[in-house]
Amino acid sequence: MRESRATGTTPVSSSFHDRFTPRLARRLEAVAAYLVGRVVEPSRSLAGPPAASRDVVLTDSTVIRLHDLLQRAFAA
């Protein structure tokens, strides 16, 4: 890992990964499931011509440019 320019320290992966205890992982999973359920299930039915549609497909072609220091870890 590279040294942080701001603090002059080298972070280790365990400082991040050790925070994900089984209890926290279960809680995050429950929150994610709740949010997905809210997004996936429509709160109201479509009316008019769109009511005949069975599926709607949306495409997101967002491009996010990462910092140059991440180039090796996340090659295009």
In a domain, 55, yes or no: no
> How much is the pLDDT for 63?
78
Say what percent of the chain tops pLDDT 90.
Answer: 7
DSSP conformational letter for 43: S
In a domain, 54, yes or no: no
In a domain, 74, yes or no: no
CB contact at 8 A, 33 and 27: no
In a domain, 39, yes or no: yes
Q: pTM, whole model, 2 decimals? A: 0.37
Q: What is the pLDDT of residues 22-75, one digit of tens each?
A: 898 899 999 988 888 777 766 677 778 877 877 777 788 887 778 888 878 877
Number of compact structural domains in the chain: 1
In a domain, 58, yes or no: no
13 lies in which domain range? 1-48
In a domain, 3, yes or no: yes
Distances (CA, A) of 29 to 14, 17, 21, 67, 73: 21, 16, 12, 29, 27
CB contact at 8 A, 25 and 17: no
In a domain, 31, yes or no: yes
In a domain, 10, yes or no: yes
75: Cα separation from own chain's centroid: 19
